[in-house]
Structure 1
């Protein structure tokens, strides 16, 4: 009887244990993929929503910069801080109250973001072992999408960012889901290549 328990315990110890936090990685992947699908279904709405949200961030940043510049007597960069705040307010107002025009500007920023993200994913994909192929594919896709945006501006600026963000979030979510399932089986989540 003792031999059976010992053999059973050693077999259980030999099985790989799920990596910690795999459920959170899976949840992130599902949420990301869901956001991607919604943005893909409603690209115009996604583009305008992102434009308004970013405009709101500029407005808040501008207000606080102006307050800091006015209140910061003796502060060496006081003039710069106030000027930065005014510029942020102008950009924020444009994005919030004229989201169509802001979307065209935002389209260029999305292209830059996708290009940088793609390069980072390719670099990361070269370093890791688990999920290497998916990470490299994601990086290449994001670079191609960035080029696609730059080639089609301004004609598709009102829907293309929604499609591209949706596709990027969807593919990123699928990558995270695959990573979580691999991590659940005992593979380290971020194991680097030797």
Structure 2
């Protein structure tokens, strides 16, 4: 390098991308918790397809609260490290708000519940897709994109036929929750591997050779 040649500077966009990737990798267990809660909710919905609307709303509310708390915890941990946390917090707060509304008005009509679920799926899916492009490709970006697309498609499907019967709605909701949960579990274990590689520690459950 000749005298007077300016030193190369890091790309701020890449720095932000790395920060977001590191946050999700360190908190892979929160993503796994989110996926497990989603799969559990989907199984419950399949086992009881003719449950009353009140029971379905309570299950949905509980799932939203767990999902929202997990998102807020991830955002707080990111903020403590002075890393990007806005999208994680926004999604967590949205999930809790939807859960509280569903619990306060459990006697709402099926149509109102369909619109509430559709709005949540569309907004949450959009936030997840936006967050995915702050994640490195080798950290599982496209799994997060697929989770967001799954949410958006579910919301659109509900809006196309908002007067669908409870049984069909339950099947749709269960299928969405299980697929979404599987995608989040795949992402979580991909992030766990990346975190282990970054820290030099073996993944949990790995036995070191004697």
> How would you bin the TM-score normalised by the shorter chain?
0.5 to 0.7
Per-residue deviation, 1:149: 0.8
Which runs of 5 or more structure 1 residues have no equivalent in the other structure? 1-18, 56-90, 189-194
Aligned mates of 2:171, 2:140 — CA distance in 1: 25
Q: 1:132 to 1:146 in 2, by over 3 A?
A: same
Aligned residue in 1 for 2:38: 32
Q: Does the alignment pair 1:106 with 2:116?
A: no
TM-score (norm 2): 0.49
Q: Equivalences for 1:111-190 in 2 at 5 Å?
A: 111-129=118-136, 130-156=139-165, 158-187=166-195
Segments ≥4 residues shifted beyond 4 Å: 19-25, 52-55
TM-score (norm 1): 0.53
Deviation sequence 1:65-91 (CA, Å, 0-9, x none): xxxxxxxxxxxxxxxxxxxxxxxxxx9
Counterpart contact for 2:129–2:149, Cα < 8 Å: yes
Which runs of 5 or more structure 2 residues have no equivalent in the other structure? 1-24, 62-102, 197-210
Q: 1:106 to 1:27 in 2, by over 3 A?
A: closer
Q: Computing the radius of gyration over CA atoms, which structure comes out larger, 1 or 2?
A: 1
Which deviates more, 39-48 or 134-143?
Answer: 39-48
Work out the number of aligned pairs and report it: 129
Which deviates more, 41-50 or 142-151?
Answer: 41-50
Counterpart contact for 2:144–2:187, Cα < 8 Å: no
Cα RMSD, aligned residues only: 3.2
Q: 1:134 to 1:20 in 2, by over 3 A?
A: closer
Per-residue deviation, 1:132: 1.4
Per-residue deviation, 1:47: 4.4
